[in-house]
Structure 1
């Protein structure tokens, strides 16, 4: 009996397979009858599946979705601002490290200062730094950066100092041109706010052989500025009626100054007067 039951089951399964796999008119009729008999069960199963999906999936509220989207945009903007501040801090830290390294390696005794005020009407002529007479700053002291000469100190307050820039005509520097014996006086010029003034190195030899791009340094004459501070580079040379003149591009970018150094020049002490000879005394 068991063998007959197994054989009957196999024949039934084979019949079902043939009904649902062979595409004939007879099998299509049988498939249609089977599907009509099972249709109530198919509909109820599909309804149960949709109900289950609806129970699991949350309802989407357009207003709530917009609010969440706005919140995400605000968070992204905050993160962008934090990233910008972080990058600015890194840049400021790197700049301060460079300034500290320059101060330690410079052959001068210097005081670091921060630029705290610049007037639009005197943008190319002067600026104000946050160190003054009580910080050891003196008048006519050279002001530099790691790039080159900025200018010299002028009016002093206890903790403020006005700096006359190299681009101002009142700041004159004895200068020399690298690779030549030419020396002269370098000075700026009064210019409109939107025009970056040029430097003029005057009193050079006529027809001097000066190449564009040659570096210009302070010569140290006069005692106000130490020797070999970079001032700029020659743009062109022009012959005047009496002497030659070089147009110089400043080494320092005066539009982006934020930190400077004030050099403490050593005062030259006058030599002591010799004591008067002893008076002759007669016995």
Structure 2
């Protein structure tokens, strides 16, 4: 009897193997019916496995999770501030390095100064630097950057000076246009606070052949500004009633001035006449 049971079990197993291994229409129908019968058991076992995993997994405390998120946000903001300060230091060092290189290569004797004050009401007219009369600064001394002319000094204090900007109508420079024989007087204009003023090069010849983009430089006449300082570039040329006039785009960006140089102009002293040799006693 036991042998018959074993034989029946083997036949049943062989039948199951045949049903699930052979790919025929009949076996596929049998497989589908078997899967339909076993489907509820399979779904229930999967649900039991998920429930068991959820019971084993550690529970998350919402308050603890919020605290950790807040700490991470604070840390991230701190890192952003550090990165910003680092970028500012790198930019400041690059500016200072450029200033040192410019001062060493410039043909003038100059004093470096920092812009310490600007007023919105006089933004395009003047600024204050941290060098004055006790630092060797004189009145009407040219003020420049590595790009070009900024203006000239005006009122002095022991360690401060007011600088009249090139864009102010009171700062006038004798100027020339590259590639031509044209010379004139360059000056600024009164403009609205939110509008960047233009420079005007006046007293040029009418119908002059002046190209847009031509460089405009100081001519050196008048003795205040040395020659060949870049002032700007020609935007357009206009004929007036008596003379011609060129509208000039300033070379310096006056809205972003941090450091400047004050040129020490050498005053030529008259050369003393040689003294006549003393006359000795006649023999």
Residue 249 (structure 1) aligns with? 249
In 1: Cα distance, 2:237 partner to 2:127 partner: 30
Residue 38 (structure 1) aligns with? none
Judged with a 3 Å threshold, the aligned counterparts in structure 2 of structure 1 residues 13 and 180 are, in CA distance, closer, same or farther, namely: farther
* Structure 1 residue 271, shift from structure 2 partner: 2.5
In 1: Cα distance, 2:246 partner to 2:52 partner: 90
- 1:106-121 equivalence runs, <5 A: 106-121=106-121
Deviates more, 1:176-185 or 1:263-272: 263-272
In 1: Cα distance, 2:8 partner to 2:85 partner: 78
- 1:135-174 equivalence runs, <5 A: 135-174=135-174
Judged with a 3 Å threshold, the aligned counterparts in structure 2 of structure 1 residues 17 and 108 are, in CA distance, closer, same or farther, namely: farther
Q: Secondary structure at the match of 1:175?
A: strand
Residue 265 (structure 1) aligns with? 265
- 1:3-42 equivalence runs, <5 A: 18=14, 21=17
* Structure 1 residue 272, shift from structure 2 partner: 2.0
* Structure 1 residue 245, shift from structure 2 partner: 0.9
Q: Secondary structure at the match of 2:78?
A: helix
Computed over aligned residues only, the root mean square deviation of the Cα atoms, in angstroms, reads 3.2
Deviates more, 1:184-193 or 1:171-180: 184-193
- Count of aligned positions: 260
Q: Secondary structure at the match of 2:185?
A: strand
Judged with a 3 Å threshold, the aligned counterparts in structure 2 of structure 1 residues 222 and 50 are, in CA distance, closer, same or farther, namely: same
Residue 234 (structure 2) aligns with? 234
In 1: Cα distance, 2:8 partner to 2:265 partner: 113
Residue 67 (structure 2) aligns with? 67
In 1: Cα distance, 2:103 partner to 2:252 partner: 17
In 1: Cα distance, 2:9 partner to 2:79 partner: 65
Residue 221 (structure 2) aligns with? 221
Deviation per CA, 1:99-125: give whole Å up to 9, x if none: 111111111111111111000110000
Deviation per CA, 1:97-152: give whole Å up to 9, x if none: 11111111111111111111000110000000111111111111110011100000
In 1: Cα distance, 2:103 partner to 2:251 partner: 19
Task: State the TM-score, normalizing by the size of structure 2.
Answer: 0.80
* Structure 1 residue 16, shift from structure 2 partner: 9.2
Judged with a 3 Å threshold, the aligned counterparts in structure 2 of structure 1 residues 15 and 146 are, in CA distance, closer, same or farther, namely: farther
* Structure 1 residue 13, shift from structure 2 partner: 10
In 1: Cα distance, 2:263 partner to 2:9 partner: 104
